[in-house]
């Protein structure tokens, strides 16, 4: 009965197994027309107003200035143009969500090399703004499986960027540029084969040093297909090892009534459909749905799977942040204001235990997500987000609010995090709020290379610059 009420494991719009879109991307019906329409929009934008995307939803967590112009409407660029099961590639338009892409590739027994955790993250967004998941210890980040990118630049040109052509500088400089060098119109990405199910093994550790040593070992060993972790406290750390399998003795379902992250403490071994594994974090936005009161079983019954989604929660949180609702309530109750700390950072594995200790003492949020990442191609460099290609990094994801520090500014915890990350030789994602001064920012994010790219691909400054967008909240 319950199974029949839960959303089916395949989207109703997914192609049947064994079928493939009829047209190759170069002749895909409508793509050229959609690109031409977007270029016409750009040409019609006022020359004295920075160009922005007209998006109703987002997965960004930083304040943005109110728009005085309508912006570019890219909502038509949501097509999966081609899935080639022989070459193991997909051609997609920039605004295709990973949910739609996964629904198109799974019937062919394939998936993207890295599938970010939330269904409505777009492929273009993950490439220009970075992304990560439990396959990142072997496949790196989403931009590392891009073969070519068709990009609309700030001056209105459409260029095809590949790692070996005249636009190779843009190909390598596009990741972490957040739409300030151009917008992805079409991307050709690599895919990898999957099996129907994923077997999960949750292993508990009580010592951070041992935990990260073991994390490095299993990543080097390479016998798991997926590796991530969940830290509930200083002495309660779980490593989750996922392995593809063709058979499953039983299946769990975390798409509605049950909550995935709480199962980590209860089950040593678990099995999920591959699609359900890829979206295991989306149903409850990792654990952030807890703050919205929807982890109670009766509430979940009433809401149903359709509303238990990260994009629904994001709208609620966006409204709260825009109007400062929570802090208004805290003030009425006589409680201190709270600072939002929503961050993802990469720390070299050798310093991971130290950083976790810092979090527990200075930014008391729990749980914390752990995800190992290593650059896929050691001979490549992505200049706007440079990692040591020979080092395993640990992504720490920590999201929530903490009481503001008395006598400090409203961003004290976030600034403290930025300082610690820099001290340990790490990197901080720019999808959330940043507080660097301009000199420090350009030192960390390769201002010299960025300026050169900006002069070539946006010579008139039609697009915002990276610092203005990510720190200045323009």
CATH of the domain spanning 324-435, picked from 3.30.70.2520, 3.40.640.10, 3.40.50.1110, 3.90.1330.10 = 3.30.70.2520
Residue 14's pLDDT band (cuts 50, 70, 90): very low
Indicate whether 199 pLDDT > 90. Answer: yes
Residue 69's pLDDT band (cuts 50, 70, 90): low
Residue pLDDT, tens place only, 86-134: 999 999 999 999 999 999 999 999 999 999 999 999 999 999 999 999 9
Indicate whether 330 pLDDT > 90. Answer: no
Q: Residue 335: its pLDDT value, please?
A: 81
Q: Where are the domains of the chain?
A: 13-193, 324-435
Phi-psi region of 455 (alpha: psi -120 to 50; beta: other; left: phi over 0): alpha
Query: Rounded to the nearest 5°, which phi and psi values hold at 101?
Result: -65, -45
Indicate whether 3 pLDDT > 50. Answer: no
Residue pLDDT, tens place only, 240-273: 999 999 999 999 999 999 999 999 999 999 999 9
Q: Residue 5: its pLDDT value, please?
A: 27
Q: Residue 381: its pLDDT value, please?
A: 94
Residue 60's pLDDT band (cuts 50, 70, 90): low
Indicate whether 12 pLDDT > 50. Answer: no
Residue 59's pLDDT band (cuts 50, 70, 90): low
* DSSP-assigned letter for residue 360: H
Residues 314 and 118: their CA atoms lie apart, in Å, by: 11
Residues 224 and 241: their CA atoms lie apart, in Å, by: 6
Q: How many residues does the chain have?
A: 474
Asked if the domains at 13-193 and 324-435 fall in one CATH topology, the answer is no
Q: Residue 57: its pLDDT value, please?
A: 61
- Mean pLDDT, rounded, for 344-357: 98
Q: In 196-266, where does DSSP find H-type helix?
A: 208-221, 260-266
Residues 154 and 43: their CA atoms lie apart, in Å, by: 10
Indicate whether 23 pLDDT > 80. Answer: no
Q: Which of these, 267, 123, 293, lies nearest to 201 by C-alpha position?
A: 267
The CATH topology of domain 13-193 is: 3.30.465
Nearest 5 degrees, angle CA 131-CA 96-CA 377? 35
Q: Which of 12-21, 159-168, 220-229, 275-284 has the lowest mean pLDDT?
A: 12-21
Residue 7's pLDDT band (cuts 50, 70, 90): very low
Residues 11 and 97: their CA atoms lie apart, in Å, by: 13
Sort 86 into a burial class: Cβ within 10 Å, 0-12 / 13-18 / 19+.
exposed
**The token pair that represents 87 in the structure block:** 């070459």
Residue pLDDT, tens place only, 409-463: 889 999 999 999 999 999 999 999 999 999 999 999 999 999 999 999 999 999 9
Indicate whether 62 pLDDT > 90. Answer: no
Q: In this structure, are residues 432 and 61 in contact, taking their beta carbons and an 8 Å threshold?
A: yes
Indicate whether 215 pLDDT > 70. Answer: yes
Q: Residue 317: its pLDDT value, please?
A: 86
| Mean pLDDT, rounded, of the chain | 91
- Mean pLDDT, rounded, for 191-205: 98
- Mean pLDDT, rounded, for 4-9: 30
Q: Residue 320: its pLDDT value, please?
A: 81
In order of 126, 328, 330, 331, the CA distances from 334 in angstroms are 41, 10, 6, 5
- Does the predicted TM-score (pTM) go above 0.85? yes
Indicate whether 216 pLDDT > 70. Answer: yes
Q: In this structure, are residues 137 and 372 in contact, taking their beta carbons and an 8 Å threshold?
A: yes
In the chain, pLDDT over 70 holds for what percent of residues? 90
**The token pair that represents 228 in the structure block:** 């991530």
Q: Residue 63: its pLDDT value, please?
A: 59
Indicate whether 371 pLDDT > 60. Answer: yes
- Mean pLDDT, rounded, for 222-251: 98
Listed as own residue / partner, the contacts of 168-173 with beta carbons closer than 8 Å and 24 or more positions apart are: 169/452, 169/453, 169/456, 170/453, 170/456, 170/457, 171/146, 172/380, 172/381, 172/382, 172/383, 173/382, 173/383, 173/384, 173/449, 173/450, 173/453
């Amino acid at each position: 009965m319950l199974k029949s009420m839960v959303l089916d494991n395949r989207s109703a719009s997914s192609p049947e197994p064994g079928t493939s879109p009829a047209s190759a991307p170069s002749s895909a019906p409508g793509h050229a027309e959609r690109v031409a329409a977007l270029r016409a929009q750009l040409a019609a934008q006022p020359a004295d107003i920075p160009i922005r995307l007209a998006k109703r939803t987002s997965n960004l967590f930083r304040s943005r200035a109110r728009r005085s112009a309508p912006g570019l409407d890219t909502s038509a660029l949501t097509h999966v143009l081609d899935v080639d099961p022989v070459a193991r590639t997909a051609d997609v338009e920039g605004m295709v969500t990973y949910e739609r892409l996964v629904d198109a590739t799974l019937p062919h027994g394939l998936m993207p090399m890295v599938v970010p955790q939330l269904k409505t993250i777009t492929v273009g967004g993950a490439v220009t703004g970075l992304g990560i998941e439990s396959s990142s210890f072997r496949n790196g980040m989403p931009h590392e499986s891009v073969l070519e990118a068709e990009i609309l630049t700030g001056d209105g040109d459409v260029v095809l960027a590949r790692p070996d052509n005249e636009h190779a500088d843009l190909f390598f400089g596009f990741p972490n540029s957040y739409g300030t060098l151009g917008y992805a119109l079409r991307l050709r990405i690599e895919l990898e084969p999957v099996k129907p199910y994923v077997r999960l093994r949750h292993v508990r550790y009580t010592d951070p040093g041992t935990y990260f040593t073991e994390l490095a070992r299993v990543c080097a060993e390479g016998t798991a297909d997926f590796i991530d972790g969940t830290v509930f406290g200083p002495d309660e750390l779980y490593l989750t090892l996922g392995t593809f399998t063709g058979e499953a003795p039983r299946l769990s379902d975390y798409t509605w009534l049950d909550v995935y992250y709480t199962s980590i403490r209860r089950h040593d071994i678990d099995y999920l459909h591959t699609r359900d594994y890829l979206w295991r974090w989306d149903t409850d936005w990792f654990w952030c749905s807890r703050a919205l009161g929807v982890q109670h079983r009766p509430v979940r019954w009433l809401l149903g799977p359709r509303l238990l989604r990260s994009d629904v929660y994001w709208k609620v949180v966006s409204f709260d942040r825009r109007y400062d609702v929570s802090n208004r309530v805290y003030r009425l109750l006589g409680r201190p204001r709270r600072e939002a700390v929503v961050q993802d950072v990469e720390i070299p594995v050798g310093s991971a235990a130290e950083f976790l200790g810092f979090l527990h003492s200075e930014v008391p949020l729990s749980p914390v997500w752990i995800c190992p990442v290593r650059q896929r191609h050691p001979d490549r460099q992505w200049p706007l987000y440079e990692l040591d290609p020979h080092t395993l990094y640990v992504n720490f994801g920590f999201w929530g609010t903490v009481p503001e520090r008395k006598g400090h500014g409203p961003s004290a915890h976030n600034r403290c995090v930025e300082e610690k990350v820099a001290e340990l030789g790490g990197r901080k994602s720019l999808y959330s709020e940043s507080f660097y001064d301009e000199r420090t920012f350009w030192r960390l994010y390769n201002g010299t290379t960025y300026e050169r790219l900006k002069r070539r691909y946006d010579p008139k400054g039609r697009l915002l610059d990276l610092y203005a967008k990510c720190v200045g909240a323009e």
